[in-house]
Amino acid sequence: MATEALSVPRPRWQTGLWAWITTTDHKRIGILYFTTALFFFIVGGLEATVMRLELAQPGRQFVSPDIYNQLFSMHGTTMIFLFIIPILVGGFGNYIVPLQIGARDMAFPRLNALSYWLFLASGLLMYGGLLFGGLAAAGWTGYAPLSTSVFSPEKGMDFWVVGMLVTGTSSTLGAINFLATILKLRAPGMTVHRMPLFVWAIMVTTAMVVLATPVLAAALTLLLFDRQLGTGFFDAAQSGNPVLWQHMFWFYSHPAVYIMILPAMGIISEVLPVFSKKPIFGYKAIAYSTAAIGFISFLVWVHHMFTVGLTPLLQAFFAFMTMAVAVPTGVKMFNWIATLWGGSLDLRPPLLFALGFLTMFLIGGISGVFNAVIPVDWQLHDTYWVVAHLHYVLFGGSVFGLFAGIYYWWPKMTGRMLDESLGKWHFWLTMIGFNLTFFPMHILGLLGMPRRIADYFAGLGWEEYNLLATAGALIMAFSTLVFLYNAFLSLRRGVPAPADPWEGNTLEWMTSSPPQAYNFEVIPTVSSARPVRDLRLAKQQKGGA
């Protein structure tokens, strides 16, 4: 019996607001995450700018201590939960992972859409306090008893707790989706040792999300019970223990910081090979170091609690594990440098930001080691030294990695090129502004300045460095404007982007820029970790022959 080829109508892009609201396409959901997270980046940045303006001089000039406390609390919450995690995992993860593994979409497209809308809702919830007299003001860490209703009666705190529960739900659902997608939907021939290192990073990250986030949800639930139902989990007077909050919170929040850095490291592992025209040095070492970091990250949380008064032997275990995590991290650093070494380096914005990442993350990683040496931590904990350290790894690390990814994948996602000259301005202004803001903070910590203070005593030697940091913050704010201008120009009248503007290695460069709704005409079969390079070389050979 003869069979006829079936003629299936090809899915086409639909336009209009309703199409975006109802989309289940991973690329559109990625863009929704992207733009929403970028909006929150600006909100968080404005919060930081007001804080820096206040701290430029001792005395209270612009905001009351109450407002300042809301600012720093929401700055941390916004940057972590409403910017970095959503933009790296929800933004780039969603857009790029299915393309890189040769799939047509995520395993559960509707669940994917739900994750995005829960994320947006969580952001609105957390800021809902604005309508009820004030935002949460107990820090992004919400330590009990300060965060209980006795000491923080404002409704904004409850909105924060509920918002955090919703964002955790969004993350966990998304993580399940990524794990199913990566484990089950890879193209033929793509073994786990041939999948891109960005995909490895997302896989380890989302495994961590699934394991850690429920613990935060439990902590938040207990806090909500204490606040609303009169229980006393964190109340010493009711035989509860405030320190319990810290254990539960940090059990999640330490892995969370690796959730924030691993995807950015995955981006670096993508950009360096393309822009040095070499394979990544030590693919398996990087892949397994990523997994090792993910695993060890669950065994270090008490290093945030060295001043709490816990048993010394317990503290020693966690100091050891904290130092241990530096080993796989160092392996990755050396492998990245070895990728550059002997390469042909194309110093355009993606690589510039990757190089910035390497330097800034090196500093941040080194400063963290000081905090692992417990008695030294007793001096440095809760000071501006920690503020310096965390920003070097989270901004110098994650955000620089993010920008490397933005410059790298922008042509693919938008079909337009970003202006290279503006990109270089953006890079250098960010480097200068960032270092001017945060390097002096190491010194402030060493001069005894605690963190989370709306005001500081004059005459202690803290004025000059605070002024420097504020100047740096203003440069950083300006550098962001440069980027936004570049983005705007590109979308308006940027040079149209080819499918593969960088001579990339991985499958996303096989698709058009931007890809069709169905991603690939035919799902490719891969036989190496650099399938698009294989195709390119084969074509060159054919041409030459």
Partner 1 sequence: MIKRFIRSAHLRKRLVLTVAVTLLLFASPAAAEPPSPLSPASPTAEGIANLYYLVLAIALVVFVVVEGLIILSTLRFRRKAPGGPEPTQVHGHTILELMWTAIPALILVVLFVLTFQALQESGDLPTNPLRVEVIGHQWWWEFRYPEQGVTTATQLVVPVGQPIIFSITSVDVIHSFWVPQLGGKIDANPGQINTYSFGVQEPGEYHGQCAEFCGIGHPYMPIRVTAVSEEEFAAWVQARLAGSLPPSEPLLARGREIVETGVCAACHTISGTVAQGQVGPDLTGFGLRPFIGGILENTPQNLARWLDDPQVVKPGAAMPDYGLSPEEIQALVAYLESLQ
Residue 282 interacting with partner 1 (CB under 8 A): yes
Residue 146 interacting with partner 1 (CB under 8 A): yes
Residue 370 interacting with partner 1 (CB under 8 A): yes
CB proximity list for 318: less than 8 A, separation 6 or greater: 299, 300, 301, 302, 303
Residue 346 interacting with partner 1 (CB under 8 A): yes
Task: Supply the DSSP symbol for 217.
Answer: H
| 265 close to 174: Cβ distance less than 8 angstroms | no
Residue 56 interacting with partner 1 (CB under 8 A): no
Q: Which of residues 326-345 bind partner 1 (CB under 8 A)?
A: 326-327, 330-331, 333-335, 337-338, 340-345
Residue 299 interacting with partner 1 (CB under 8 A): no
Q: Which of residues 426-465 bind partner 1 (CB under 8 A)?
A: 446-448, 450-462
CB of 339 to partner 1, least distance (A): 9
Residue 98 interacting with partner 1 (CB under 8 A): no
CB proximity list for 524: less than 8 A, separation 6 or greater: 102, 187, 507, 510, 531
Q: Which of residues 471-530 bind partner 1 (CB under 8 A)?
A: none
CB of 149 to partner 1, least distance (A): 13
Question: Helix, strand or coil for residue 496?
Answer: strand
Residue 312 interacting with partner 1 (CB under 8 A): yes
Residue 541 interacting with partner 1 (CB under 8 A): no
Apex 391 CA angle, 163 and 379, nearest 5:
105
Residue 139 interacting with partner 1 (CB under 8 A): yes
* Shorter beta-carbon distance to partner 1: residue 182 or 526: 526
Region binding partner 1 by CB under 8 A among candidate stretches 119-127, 200-208, 237-245, 253-261: 237-245
Neighbours of 455 (CB within 10 A): 16
| 420 close to 347: Cβ distance less than 8 angstroms | no
Residue 379 interacting with partner 1 (CB under 8 A): yes
Region binding partner 1 by CB under 8 A among candidate stretches 127-135, 181-189, 357-365, 409-417: 357-365
| 514 close to 25: Cβ distance less than 8 angstroms | no
Task: Give the whole-angstrom CA distance, residue 312 versus residue 134.
Answer: 40
Closest among 28, 214, 19 to 109, alpha carbons compared: 28
Region binding partner 1 by CB under 8 A among candidate stretches 56-64, 104-112, 421-429, 518-526: 56-64
Q: Which of residues 169-228 bind partner 1 (CB under 8 A)?
A: none
Q: Tell which one of 309, 522, 541, 545 touches partner 1 (CB under 8 A).
A: 309
CB of 433 to partner 1, least distance (A): 20
Task: Give the whole-angstrom CA distance, residue 334 versus residue 527.
Answer: 27
| 318 close to 377: Cβ distance less than 8 angstroms | no
